[in-house]
Amino acid sequence: MTYGLGKLYLMGCFLVISLCIAPIAYADKTGLTSGRPEPMVFDLIDPLGAKKGEFEINTLMDYSPRTGQFQWSPEIEYSFAKGHAIELELPVENSTLTAYKVSLQGTLGELLQKRMIHGWQIIGRRENNEKEFAGEALYINDYKFSEKWSTMNMIGARHTRFNEEGDFFCLANNSVFYQYHFRFAIGIELNSEIRNHYHYRLTPQIQYAFTKKAFIQFGGGPSQLNDEKRTEWLITTRLVFDF
């Protein structure tokens, strides 16, 4: 996909989410067991509308069968106010800590008779290898078509370095889910980055809740986020525990 087509894609996303910006009441319940599955690769800090005092730990794990590279990212998340949360993430490649990430997330509210909930997320990171700081900002929108079908969409931008060499590029995450049972859902997630060209990662996935406090996400698929000329196939899982 060329840069021009990428611009058309972003314009379409903005047209969709522009209808959704209006604060109303917060949600009382979110997450897989209440009918709002969340994407696995681009993780929310806490479900939008989380109650004050909720605490979560989770770990994302990626494995490349071609290279044998293993990446994992333990995270600690805390909801310090209703609908607002903070996260510390430590991305690790094999056994090397590659970055520090701190994120903030807020809930703007609900609309369309509580079918829709939306919010924002800001991410700051320090890349250990380059000793540089980077940041991201995204708008988040979660919509339930029915009791079974839902979609979550995020759109925003990343600043690669906070100096004269830093670049901006666009980010998008689009996912669709079918919740077969309150414990089980299937979905597909598309992560997109538009720099000079279009880069993507596509991840079909399943989600299973052992209890209301613990669930697993598992999937895999092709990725060209790091190199648009080579497709990397990744196996991915995330383990989540709420307290």
State pLDDT tens for residues 169-185: 999 999 999 999 889 99
pLDDT level of residue 35 (50, 70, 90 thresholds): low
Name the residue among 150, 91, 98, 87 with its Cα closest to residue 121.
87
Percent of the chain with pLDDT over 90: 64
Average pLDDT over the chain reads 85
The one-character DSSP state at 26 is P
Alpha carbon 56 to chain centroid distance?
15
Can you tell me the distance from the alpha carbon of 36 to that of 1, in angstroms, rounded to the nearest whole number?
A: 31
| Strands (DSSP E) found in 41-145 | 55-63, 70-81, 84-89, 92-93, 96-97, 99-111, 116-127, 132-144
Which of residues 47 and 177 earns the better pLDDT score? 177
Q: Answer whether 120's CB lies under 8 Å from 137's CB.
A: yes
Domain map (residue ranges) of the chain: 3-19+31-242
pLDDT digits (tens, 9 = 90+) for 61-90: 999 998 899 999 999 999 999 999 999 999
Q: Which fold has domain 3-19+31-242?
A: Porin (2.40.160)
CB atoms within 10 A of CB 19: 11
pLDDT band at 31 (very low <50, low <70, confident <90, very high): low
pLDDT band, very low/low/confident/very high, at 32 (cuts 50, 70, 90):
low
